[in-house]
Chains A and B, each alone.
Chain A
Amino acid sequence: MSPRRILQLGVVVLVLVYPLLAGNSPVYGRLGALVLLAAIGASAWNIVGGYAGQVSVGHAVFFGVGAYSAVVVYTHLGWPPIAGAPLGMAISVGIAAVIGVPTLRLSGHYFSMATIAVAELVRVLSSTSDFLGGAQGLSGPPVPRSVLDLSFISATPYYYIFLAVLVFLLGLTRWIEGARMGFYLRAIKDSERAARSLGVSAGRYKLYAYMLSAAFTALAGSLYLTMFGFIDPESGFGILISVKMLVMAALGGAGQLFGPLVGALILVPLEELSNSLLGGRGAGLTFVVYGAIIVIIARFLPSGLLSLFERRPARRDRAKSAPVAGHAD
């Protein structure tokens, strides 16, 4: 076996036995599950934001719809929350179509702005809706009625559920990478005009990527609800939810299979530990550092951390060091 193979095998084993290593420590057990959940959201975002290059800053819409669907089927129908996941995914795909059809025709930033605005609209609407519990939000089952409620004290079951979903999502993404759609998306990202001139119906494939991404983000939202058992407008639809998905994917490497996971592995522990260790004004200082790290990465490693491990091109692109560039696209 090559060293590379051994390393890969080691990582797989480590991921599988992590909850055993974390042992009884509730902090580290929880941390593992949280990293995986964040990685699901960021990997879902990556399909449209990374592969298709359409930067959504409003994915909280889908996350929130997923979480609220789960809690609504419990509150109003008495079903296990996870039964709301398919509903949330279906609604999210519908919303993605409604936002995507007009805005994906336009150049980059419009789509970003539109996604922010729609997320805000939904957040404000949800806080005025009694059906959704208004500004107070809604809670899932206080005590598990059956195992179907997916309500556990230990974080270990969540860890393995999230791991299974993440593996499925990454497998699907990997498959798309090699399929026709993957080639089309890369072509569109490189130059939409060139892709169109070669007969790729760019709008349709961007929309497909957006809808697929929306569905899995909604699933992440439903899973979040099963673990936390509570959702309110801010934790479901807040702009920080959207931004975190984007930042994690971009930090690791957007448009790369493992980029979002790498980003989640760095940012989630950083945030959790600073929350528990510092708190108060100290937490402010942590976010100052967090912001500075993000700025430095954007400035010096615009393609994310994983680009460090790529083989470098033999010659740096001269045009990049020219004093002036025009429009970015």
Chain B
Amino acid sequence: MSMTLLQVVVSGLLLGAVYALFSSGLTLIWGMMNVVNFAHGDFVMLGMYTAVVIWTALGGGPWASVPVAAILIATLGVVSYFLLVRHIMKGPMLAQILGTFGLALFLRYAAFWTFGANFRTLPDTLVGHSFVLAGIRFEGSRLLAGVVGLGVTLLLHVILTRTAIGSRMLAVSEDATAAQLMGIRPQRMQALAWALAGAATGIAGALIATFFYTSPTVGETLAIVAFVTVSFGGFGSVLGALVAGLIIGVVESLSAYLIGPVYKDVIVYVLFVLVLWFRPQGLMGKA
């Protein structure tokens, strides 16, 4: 493999890890309670603004903004769960979409009203300069985002599949009434799922802000990537989102390099449509 091609694959993997991270919150909520959060992209957007505000007001880098964004967005998730989602999840699917979409509009334009429509970017050097390792160039911000993305997504997967609390959450998602009879409090588990998903989403937002522009409507763009990643990976599977995120990242950067930057989205969507046709439940989903 030529060096350039290797470089392209590595950048794709780093990007894909971030895709996986900001999609994992969406897939966790979808899998846990069969609710698709249409405000997910706007949660990411608020995580990004957290990083912007922490840098402009306090001069803090990702070391400060990542934990703060995690806590803030986790809180936002829990509040949304108790005030809205808890009530609409029993209703028709349309009410769920309407409710979370209304929340999306609310958050998006609250950000627009507060911060204005201008695009903000953080300085390139915030996370250190780019460097060359084994012939491959790494940009500090993307490397950090990719590595943390991979780590947090795997951690989320481990929490869900290897810990007692994860088993309890899965029990609630399988059958809330039966779980309740076993002494598990379903609402507490569901609120915890929103907290975990919110934290992952906040971390993702704070990291993306270090190399991507921040604007009130950026959530719309990111949400579509997340929807594709999640459907590609399969219903409720964090591991599926990770694999799908990495595949999408690599396919994007390869097609941008081999065919042309304009076509990278086209190739990803075509791939998605093919998956949909031949394996509609996604790579790791249950039909």
Stretch at the interface among A76-84, A155-163, A173-181, A294-302: A294-302
Stretch at the interface among A18-26, A67-75, A201-209, A283-291: A283-291
Q: Does A246 contact B (CB under 8 A)?
A: yes
Q: Does A165 contact B (CB under 8 A)?
A: no
From A112, A254, A286, name the one whose CB has the most chain B CB atoms within 10 angstroms. A112
Give the complex CA separation of A112 and B34 in angstroms: 13
Q: What does DSSP make chain B's interface, helix, strand, loop or mixed?
A: helix
With a cutoff of 8 Å between Cβ atoms, the chain A residues found around residue B175 in the complex are 326
Q: Does A66 contact B (CB under 8 A)?
A: no
Q: Distance (Å) between the CB of B247 and the closest chain A CB?
A: 15
With a cutoff of 8 Å between Cβ atoms, the chain A residues found around residue B180 in the complex are 324
Let me know if A250 and B280 touch, CB within 8 A: no
Q: Does A9 contact B (CB under 8 A)?
A: no
Q: Which of A102, A113, A247, A329 contacts B230 (CB 8 A)?
A: A113
Let me know if A254 and B94 touch, CB within 8 A: yes
Give the complex CA separation of A128 and B267 in angstroms: 13
Q: Does B158 contact A (CB under 8 A)?
A: no
With a cutoff of 8 Å between Cβ atoms, the chain A residues found around residue B137 in the complex are none
Give the complex CA separation of A124 and B269 in angstroms: 9
Give the complex CA separation of A326 and B33 in angstroms: 7
Let me know if B103 and A291 touch, CB within 8 A: yes
Give the complex CA separation of A270 and B281 in angstroms: 39
Q: Does B182 contact A (CB under 8 A)?
A: no
Q: Mark contacts of B69-113 with chain A using CB atoms, 8 A cut-off: 1 yes-contact digit, 0 otherwise.
A: 000000000000000100111111111111101111111111011
Q: Given A120-B269, A285-B113, A329-B34, is A128 in contact with B262 using a C-beta cutoff of 8 Å?
A: yes
Q: Distance (Å) between the CB of A53 and the closest chain B CB?
A: 7
Q: Distance (Å) between the CB of A249 and the closest chain B CB?
A: 8
Q: Which of B34, B87, B104, B227 contacts A299 (CB 8 A)?
A: B87
Q: Given A113-B230, A325-B90, is A298 in contact with B102 using a C-beta cutoff of 8 Å?
A: yes
Stretch at the interface among A31-39, A103-111, A144-152, A212-220: A103-111
- Chain A residues 312 to 329 lying within 8 A of chain B, measured CB to CB, are 320, 323-329
Q: Does B200 contact A (CB under 8 A)?
A: no
Number of B residues near A (Cβ < 8 Å) is: 59
Q: Given A102-B280, A285-B109, is A328 in contact with B34 using a C-beta cutoff of 8 Å?
A: yes
Q: Which of B36, B93, B102, B176 contacts A294 (CB 8 A)?
A: B102
Give the complex CA separation of A326 and B84 in angstroms: 16
Let me know if B266 and A328 touch, CB within 8 A: no
Let me know if A113 and B227 touch, CB within 8 A: yes
Q: Nearest residue in A to B114 (C-beta to C-beta)?
A: A284
Q: Which of A102, A250, A320 contacts B98 (CB 8 A)?
A: A250
Q: Given A110-B235, A117-B227, is A327 in contact with B34 using a C-beta cutoff of 8 Å?
A: yes
Q: Distance (Å) between the CB of B173 and the closest chain A CB?
A: 8
Q: Which of B99, B187, B220, B266 contacts A295 (CB 8 A)?
A: B99
Q: Which of A239, A285, A302, A325 contacts B95 (CB 8 A)?
A: A302
Give the complex CA separation of A184 and B88 in angstroms: 26
- Chain A residues 199 to 246 lying within 8 A of chain B, measured CB to CB, are 239, 243, 246
Q: Given A121-B266, A291-B102, is A106 in contact with B281 using a C-beta cutoff of 8 Å?
A: yes
Q: Which of A53, A114, A299 contacts B93 (CB 8 A)?
A: A53
Let me know if B84 and A299 touch, CB within 8 A: yes
Q: Nearest residue in A to B186 (C-beta to C-beta)?
A: A324
Give the complex CA separation of A290 and B107 in angstroms: 11
A-B CB contact pairs (8 Å), 24 listed = A53-B93, A102-B277, A110-B280, A112-B97, A113-B230, A117-B272, A117-B273, A243-B101, A246-B98, A281-B113, A284-B113, A284-B216, A288-B113, A291-B107, A302-B95, A302-B98, A303-B92, A323-B187, A325-B176, A326-B177, A328-B35, A328-B89, A328-B90, A329-B34
Interface residues, chain A, CB within 8 Å of chain B? 49-50, 53, 55, 57, 102-103, 105-106, 108-110, 112-114, 116-118, 120-121, 124-125, 128, 239, 243, 246-247, 250-251, 254, 281, 284-288, 290-299, 302-303, 320, 323-329
